[in-house]
Chains A and B, each alone.
Chain A
Amino acid sequence: MVRKDLGFQTICHLVLIIMSVLVLFPIALLFISSMSPESDIIKYGYSLVPKSFDFTAYKYIFKEGSVFHSYFITIIVTFTGTIVSILITTMLSYTLTVKELPGRGILSFLVLFTMLFSGGLVPSYMMWTTLFHIKNTIWALLVPNMLCNAFHIMITRSFFQNNIPPAILESARIDGMNEFGIFFKMVLPLSTPIIATIGFMKALMYWNDWTNSLYYITDKNLVGIQALLNNMLTNVKYLAQSMDASSVATDVANIPSLSMRLAIAVVGMIPMIILYPFFQKYYMKGLTVGAVKG
């Protein structure tokens, strides 16, 4: 028994190590190149063994200060958005699990439909800016396309249906608990795996989002870290295309260097890396089934 287990464990580790190497190798290139001098990258390409080290990109980032501010914005938006979003999603998903609810089928369909059809960017933009005036406010980072997602609703509903034994809920109702109580005191605590899962997915969505910023934010104080990076990357793309050269004050000096872009990419990854193990704890827990079956 023990030997078999050891063999299997070895296989697990082996496969996962290979995957990790495949993942880490380009990231290492990224990391090392962000610390190399610009001219080396341009002339010799990226390499794992740099010819020399040059931390100007990082120095600039931390001196400039706007990177920290962007971090701050992204963290606030991610934190708030995730929490509110989890609440809305779980409540709606739970409702959709109630079998005898009138209109349940229709509601499920309507929710799913939103995943398939979309009005597109322009109508959404028009609505959010002219009707709701969210341009250049923090709501633009929290609400459009982020707050609730049919995909998460579907998987949460699926989880509730398959992992919350109706028996417990029934007995709670018989005991006189109201529906809200049942939801908050029984269903949610039993659902930590799925909450952690969608929580992490939503946090990742908020963290990585930069398109909302691209379209709705022009105020520098509301730019998140990924938006900052992507703005820089697209600026470079267009600055290189300096069209009527003499009509635009495009100083080549203004174009952020390659190592700068790479450094910001590295910097943009870090918080999530640190936070992730924290989430893991929760969705690996599993159910405490014993008590229920009894």
Chain B
Amino acid sequence: MKKITALLMMAVMLVSLFAGCGKSAQKNNEKPENTSEKTTEVAKNTESAKVEKIKIWVPTSGKYDDIDAVMEKVNEITRAKIGVEVEFCPLQFGQWFGQYSLLLSGTEDVDIMANYGGYLNAYSQGACLDLTDLLNEYGQDIIATEGEYLKGGMIDGRQYAIPIYAAYAWNMGLIYRQDVVDELGLTDQVANVKTLEDWEPILAAVKEAKPDMTPYVMNTGATASNFQYGTWDDLGNNYGVLLDGGKTSEVVNLFESDEYARLCKIMYDWNQKGYSSKDIQTQTDGFGTLTQNDAAFSTLGQTDFNTKFYQTTSIGKPIGIVMLGDAVGRTYNNVTYTVMSNTKHPEACMKFLNLWFSDIELGNLIKYGIEGTHYVVNGDGMAEYLEGQDANSCTYHLGASVSNTVAIRWVTENPDYVKLLNDANSSARRSVALGFAFNTDSVTNEITQLDNVRAKYQTGLETGVMDPDQYLPEFNKALKDAGIDKVIAEKQAQLDAYLGK
């Protein structure tokens, strides 16, 4: 009895110590910024009626230990300009995807939410606020920056999401190690590559010269299909696409097309010849990690005007690209910001988004932190880490932004990025389906079954591990049994209605 009592008391003490500690630990974290809390309180008291507080949830891969200090500075600007205070709630990517559906359920305190991988889920649950009127009233800068690309967030003519302003025009392309190409004297040959078949001799040369380097690997490991970013406009999901990249509006079955069969055959051929690993289907690491360790040479992926620069600096090895078609502006936009339908501060949200789209100081703060503490501006006007700090030791580098034009360049980025971005976006050909959003409510059952069929065949076929002669017909039959024709018909009907407007 005594022992038990003693143990229990110890347990209770520990928990109460920690329950308090948990909260005070948070405060401890803010200790250097303790004064900031006080100033916020004071400021709030003086303008309490006017200032609205909103919460924004974003995923990130960077650090945000100092987020309170940064938010204080951010709020100085937002309070002054639009009478709004924001609180960013960042989550690491892995946790983001685990919590995303919980955040969407509407029970959490969310005002603005980032959406990765499309916002249609949020929309079908009724989680997106209709922003059309708000946009017209407070969103001038957004409209000016995005222009036609705002369509990417519209459904039935009403605006439900604000897409971020980034590279819209892209196409499928080969991404490869430039230094290896130069070393093997293949530079000219590579410059003449126009189609996927042309790439084969390069792979052969690399395989022979570099036995430890796998000539072809998947871009993102086994998490996305090999042809995720194709030359076709996938209209949201790959069930029914515009094969010619959106020149016409006929929706066809991608998996039955000659183009798809051709691509799969090439992959199968490459796998048989040993240009890709026998284990390519279960590849855990992405192209970036593999090539950093000199274990991979090339891959297929989404390429646009900036890919070469971006990949080179983020991976740390010289990267080159070959685009397998012209850049096309299309439906597929990954990242959008939506306002929760049950928010209490709709105007404040729109005002903030608008400010974020136009105010460079705000953009810098949110993305990089406080100048002098988290980054410095070098002679070329680009930002970089402080002397002696790096991605791991710097205490704030959120990286979140709504527009890649509203922040100064980081030292590893292309200095001409903004100009090139605007040029590419405005001059690229656009798919006729730009802005089309496919509403899947009437075909949810078919889609769940189709997703399972795809899980069975897609990776194997697209990486060349499965023989297309045998498995492609099987794949297509299974798709038909699962109802792909119904989905395609539905998509065509919706697309026609959309274009008819």
- Which residues of A come within 8 Å of B, CB atoms? 38-39, 42-43, 76, 79-80, 83-84, 87, 121-122, 125-126, 129-130, 136-139, 142, 184-185, 188, 214-215, 218-222, 230-255, 257-258
Contacts and interface: CB of A to CB of B under 8 A. Distances in A.
Contact of B4 (A130, A184, A232, A234): A184
Given A244-B333, A247-B334, 14 more contacts: A84-B11, A129-B107, A129-B108, A138-B18, A138-B22, A215-B98, A237-B223, A239-B286, A241-B220, A241-B223, A245-B307, A245-B314, A247-B166, A250-B399
Interface of B: 1, 4, 7-8, 10-11, 14-15, 18-19, 21-23, 25-26, 29, 60-62, 65, 89, 91-99, 101-102, 105, 107-108, 116-117, 164, 166-167, 212, 220-221, 223-224, 284-286, 288-290, 292-295, 302, 304, 306-307, 310-311, 314-316, 333-335, 367, 390-392, 397-399, 401, 404, 410
B94 A39 contact: no
What is the interface of chain A mostly: helix, strand, loop, or mixed? helix
B105 A122 contact: yes
A38 B285 CA distance: 12
A241 B15 CA distance: 39
Contact of B167 (A184, A239, A246, A249): A246
Contact of B105 (A126, A248, A249): A126
A251 B117 CA distance: 20
B4 A250 contact: no
Contacts of A188: 4
B296 to A, nearest CB: 9
A235 B92 contact: yes
A91 B18 CA distance: 26
Contacts of A142: 15
A219 B11 contact: no
Contacts of B26: 136, 219, 221
A32 B290 CA distance: 21
18 contacts: A39-B293, A42-B293, A121-B102, A126-B105, A137-B19, A138-B15, A138-B22, A185-B1, A215-B99, A239-B93, A242-B286, A243-B116, A243-B117, A244-B334, A250-B314, A252-B316, A253-B316, A254-B61
A233 B94 CA distance: 8
B289 A252 contact: yes
Nearest to A37: B293
Contacts of A253: 314, 316, 390-391
Contacts of B315: 252
Interface centre among A138, A218, A222, A255 (most CB of B within 10 A): A138
Contacts of A241: 220-221, 223-224, 286
A140 B12 CA distance: 16
Contacts of B62: 249, 251, 254
The 3 closest A-B pairs by CB, nearest first: A249-B399, A234-B94, A240-B286
Contacts of A232: 94
Given A246-B306, A246-B404, A251-B61, A79 B94 contact: no
Nearest to B105: A122
A87 B316 CA distance: 56
A81 to B, nearest CB: 9
Given A238-B93, A240-B285, A42 B223 contact: no
Given A240-B286, A247-B335, A43 B293 contact: yes
Given A242-B220, A242-B286, A254 B4 contact: no
Nearest to B413: A246
Contacts of B404: 246-247
A239 B224 CA distance: 12
B182 to A, nearest CB: 22
Contact of B94 (A136, A138, A237, A246): A237
Given A38-B293, A42-B285, A231 B92 contact: yes
A41 B179 CA distance: 23
Contacts of A121: 102
Contact of B14 (A43, A76, A139): A76
A259 B206 CA distance: 27
B95 A231 contact: yes
Contacts of A222: 22, 25
A125 B221 CA distance: 32
Interface centre among A234, A241, A255 (most CB of B within 10 A): A241
Contacts of A122: 101-102, 105
B217 to A, nearest CB: 11
Contacts of B89: 218
A239 B401 CA distance: 17
Nearest to A122: B105
Contacts of B391: 251, 253-254
B368 to A, nearest CB: 9
A252 B97 contact: no
A39 B294 CA distance: 8
Contacts of A39: 293-295
Contact of A137 (B22, B107, B164, B290): B22
A83 B285 contact: no
Contacts of A130: 107
Contacts of A129: 107-108
B165 to A, nearest CB: 9
B98 A214 contact: yes
Contacts of A234: 93-95, 97-98
